[in-house]
A and B are shown apart, each in its own frame.
Chain A
Amino acid sequence: MNGIKKIQYDCKQATYLIEKKQIVRLTFYEKIRLWIHLAGCSVCRIFQRQSILITRMAKEFFQNPPSPRPGLDDTFKKELQDRIEERLKKD
């Protein structure tokens, strides 16, 4: 297989670069490689779109987490504050 054909077939490499691109800048060579691949591979274009979506969803989930249910109960909170007060008295 010649060079271009190899790049066009190698979805493993392309998806690796799609992940890398979301974290660091790709080298010039890597950019060209990914561009050539995505131009001809609709499946990896789907992958790219969904990969970015997953990253966004995960981020969103961490930045605006729903309040946990059940949350902390009052007994736990009271005991914890009591322990803090105890330590403060010792000092």
Chain B
Amino acid sequence: MRRDKTPEAALTVVQPVNPHKWVETYADYLYTYALVRINDEELAKDLVQETFLGALQRVDKFEGKSTERTWLTAILKNKIIDVYRKRSSGLANLPDEQNGLKEQHDFFNPADGHWTEAYEPQYFGIEDRDPVLNKELNGILKKCMQRLPALWLAVFTMKHMEDHSTDIICSELKVTPSNFWVIIHRAKVNLRECLQRNWL
């Protein structure tokens, strides 16, 4: 007797995808997920919509290996990477001066690499009181991040927050590995400086 024909087997088959409940169940979650990464309410709404409509077209490919939520989030993630790529290419990527960014030679003496006096890091003064939880400091960091060039922000976000592999980041955003490290370094030096300037 073939097992999959038994009534018991039929009962264990679950329907993992239920598009009738999608908006009610996942829209807010996906919207928050997108908004925090791309910081644009209208665009975040569009991405949520595209995610659902895109998912509908491949419902038959959903194998039930992950949860519905994980599956939808994966689709949204790819759409977010597309946004990063678009934002960080061509004209959208403003020159550094317009973002108030400093060059490496502002921070480090070109001759020996030593900190320049003007930009030496100083204590924030709250290092001993778990600063991760400091709301004001968090608020400043968010603003400082928005001032990074789009490509840097995309690299920083994909690496530090979403934990993508360096290979993926380089190929998706079309940066060379050596340029990747330069961006990671410059982004952090600038973020730290921005935090210090606005905190102290």
A residues neighboring B (CB under 8 Å): 1, 6, 9-13, 15-16, 19-20, 23-24, 43-44, 46-47, 49-51, 53-62, 65, 67-68, 71-72, 76-77, 80-81, 83-85, 87-88
Contacts and interface: CB of A to CB of B under 8 A. Distances in A.
Contacts of B156: 58
Given A46-B121, A47-B121, 20 more contacts: A1-B112, A9-B112, A9-B114, A11-B108, A13-B113, A15-B189, A16-B185, A44-B115, A54-B195, A55-B188, A57-B137, A57-B141, A61-B141, A62-B161, A65-B32, A72-B31, A72-B48, A84-B52, A87-B53, A88-B20
Contacts of A65: 32-33, 35-36
B49 interface: yes
- 6 tightest Cβ-Cβ pairs between the two chains A and B: A10-B113, A12-B113, A12-B108, A62-B161, A81-B23, A65-B36
B56 A87 contact: yes
A43 B132 CA distance: 21
B36 to A, nearest CB: 4
Given A10-B113, A12-B107, A23-B159, A84 B56 contact: yes
A49 B166 CA distance: 23
Interface of B: 19-20, 22-24, 27-28, 31-33, 35-37, 41, 45, 48-49, 52-53, 56, 104, 107-108, 112-115, 120-124, 127, 131-132, 137-138, 141-142, 145, 156-157, 159-162, 166, 181, 184-185, 188-189, 191-192, 195-196
A43 B189 CA distance: 13
A85 B24 CA distance: 13
**Best-surrounded residue of A16, A77, A88 (most CB of chain B within 10 A):** A16
B113 A51 contact: no
Contacts of B107: 12
